């Protein structure tokens, strides 16, 4: 700065987006400031400035001296993100109440970063996965005031969409400092974005805000969602506050599978034989690559001796499937690594075949203990349907091939003890019965005495 004479003055002019305090606090290079200086603030839009009069007392601040450093306090940053505008620094001398410029210059703009919204919350009116017509209540507290004519922009996480645009547009509500009871104007930008455009048409606001958005479809599984993104801006889309964490939801229950059936592919369906089973599934939600069908079979069925012996084959709308078994829980998990086109629409059937499963050991009807569709993380998507749709029932008994009969005597019309000896193909459970059909030439008394075993495993010879 050139050596100033008369009464010096320093003027710092701020961009219009700043708010200056009614008075200013001032400090500078030690030993250079005068105790008699004055500092005044002016807030008038483009001419908002601090004026520091007589900063050095009766002396000048020479250009050869140490550079002058000034600190001004009580300045409020802009409410918007980005370049704050250009500052102007000028020095003057005042002669007979007239200011004459000495030096002038501009200072590099400062970039303002966004504030962060506080206390995020999301509450859906229903926590059933994939339910439609759900109203979401989104709450938060601003860190900085939303300016007059400001906007709130809400972006939805993957899997949650606005499925009814008309309902969302007509029914959105908001509450400033309280519950969302006031209808307001909303603009649905897309199925995953909505803007509240009229909340601040008459005044700015700072504090707790609750938004209510109807017409939403929930995520399809019980996995926790990723976060909504909520941003406050001015009407030129300059960001004030934003937050993309903490606005998450987790569903509590899922829809039933629309339909499940299990069919033995063999033509004979013999008790205890190892056959292939075709599994048909129709879900009420779309599927995605990596989804799994978890099937828990009845105890009357048997599994292969090792997981390596268990294979699965893709069927309609399935490109690739692999299976794993847990014998202790009677469970087979079929992982669909690739569906046709990457997914199957809700209400559309897909199928696959489980090879080498042991049939039930009798002709009695059996039902699957459970069938569930889960996502790649193991979270439930659709659950078991009515048991009647998962009937498993054989059509043929296994043939006993090693049976012999001996008698204590073969003399005609004599009483004799008959000994039947055979090896069952399948285990005979406790409280079961053995039926013997005898020819009409044999006379059996009204009361007979039998002896034998109970709870007989397959392969045990009986006599």
**Which pLDDT belongs to residue 453?**
58
**Which pLDDT belongs to residue 94?**
86
Distance, C-alpha 437 to centroid of its chain: 63
**Which pLDDT belongs to residue 364?**
85
**Which pLDDT belongs to residue 388?**
66
**Which pLDDT belongs to residue 68?**
73
The residue with tokens 């620094």 is 89
Contacts of 339 (CB under 8 A, 6+ apart): 287, 288, 289, 291, 317, 318, 319, 350
Assess contact for 54 and 70: CB atoms under 8 A: no
Assess contact for 357 and 292: CB atoms under 8 A: no
Q: Which domains does the chain have, with CATH numbers?
A: 7-112 (no CATH), 115-243 (2.60.40), 256-392 (2.60.40.290), 399-463 (no CATH)
**Which pLDDT belongs to residue 391?**
80
Nearest to 195 by CA among 166, 172, 167, 161: 172
Sign (positive or negative) of CA dihedral 27, 32, 35, 36? negative
Collapse the DSSP code of 217 into the 3-class scheme (helix H, G, I; strand E, B; otherwise coil) and give the result: strand
CB burial of residue 286 (10 Å; 0-12, 13-18, 19+)? middle
**Which pLDDT belongs to residue 4?**
41
**Which pLDDT belongs to residue 272?**
86
**Which pLDDT belongs to residue 1?**
47
As averages over each run of 10 residues, the pLDDT of the chain (463 residues) reads 65 85 66 73 78 76 64 76 84 87 86 91 98 98 94 97 97 94 95 96 95 98 97 91 96 94 89 92 96 93 87 97 93 96 95 93 87 96 76 80 85 85 78 81 79 60 54
**Which pLDDT belongs to residue 16?**
80
The token pair that represents 24 in the structure block: 């200013």
φ/ψ of 35, rounded to 5, equals -70, -10
**Which pLDDT belongs to residue 376?**
95
**Which pLDDT belongs to residue 3?**
45
């Amino acid at each position: 700065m050139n050596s100033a004479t008369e009464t010096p003055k320093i003027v710092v002019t701020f961009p219009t987006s700043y708010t200056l305090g009614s008075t200013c606090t001032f400090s500078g290079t030690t030993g250079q400031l005068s105790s008699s200086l004055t500092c005044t603030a002016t807030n008038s839009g483009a001419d908002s400035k601090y004026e520091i009069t007589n900063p050095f007392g009766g002396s000048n601040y020479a250009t050869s001296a140490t550079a002058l450093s000034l600190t001004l306090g009580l300045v409020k940053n802009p409410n918007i993100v980005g370049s704050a505008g250009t500052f102007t620094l000028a020095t003057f001398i005042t002669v007979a109440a007239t200011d004459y410029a000495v030096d002038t210059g501009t200072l590099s703009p400062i970039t303002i970063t966004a504030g962060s919204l506080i206390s995020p919350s999301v509450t859906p009116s229903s926590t059933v996965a994939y339910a439609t017509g759900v109203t979401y209540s989104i709450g938060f507290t601003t860190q900085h005031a939303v300016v007059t004519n400001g906007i709130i922009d809400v972006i939805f996480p993957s899997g949650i969409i606005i499925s009814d645009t008309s309902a969302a547009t007509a029914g959105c509500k908001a509450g400033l400092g309280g519950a969302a009871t006031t209808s307001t104007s909303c603009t649905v930008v897309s199925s995953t974005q909505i803007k509240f455009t009229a909340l601040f048409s008459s005044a700015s606001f700072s504090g707790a805000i609750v938004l209510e958005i109807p017409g939403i479809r929930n995520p399809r599984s019980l996995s926790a969602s990723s976060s909504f993104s909520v941003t406050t801006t001015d009407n030129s889309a300059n960001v004030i506050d934003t937050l993309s964490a903490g606005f998450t939801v987790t569903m509590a229950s899922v829809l039933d599978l629309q339909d499940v059936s299990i069919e033995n592919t063999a033509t004979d369906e013999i008790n205890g034989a190892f056959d292939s089973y075709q599994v048909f599934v129709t879900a009420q939600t779309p599927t995605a690559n990596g989804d799994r069908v978890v099937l828990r079979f009845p105890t009357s069925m048997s599994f292969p001796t090792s997981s390596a012996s268990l294979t699965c084959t893709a069927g309609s709308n399935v490109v690739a499937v692999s299976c794993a078994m847990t014998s202790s829980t009677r469970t087979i998990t079929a992982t669909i690594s690739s569906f046709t086109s990457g997914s199957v629409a809700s209400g559309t059937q897909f199928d696959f075949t489980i090879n080498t499963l042991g049939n039930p050991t009798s002709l009695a009807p059996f039902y699957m203990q459970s069938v569930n569709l889960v996502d790649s993380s193991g979270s439930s998507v659709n659950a078991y349907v009515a048991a009647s749709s998962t009937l498993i029932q054989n059509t043929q008994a296994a043939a006993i091939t090693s049976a012999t009969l001996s008698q204590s005597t073969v003399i005609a019309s004599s009483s004799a003890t008959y000994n039947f000896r055979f090896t069952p193909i399948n285990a005979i459970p406790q409280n079961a019965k053995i039926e013997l059909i005898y020819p009409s030439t044999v006379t059996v008394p009204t009361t007979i005495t039998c002896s034998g075993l109970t709870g007989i495993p397959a392969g045990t010879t009986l006599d």
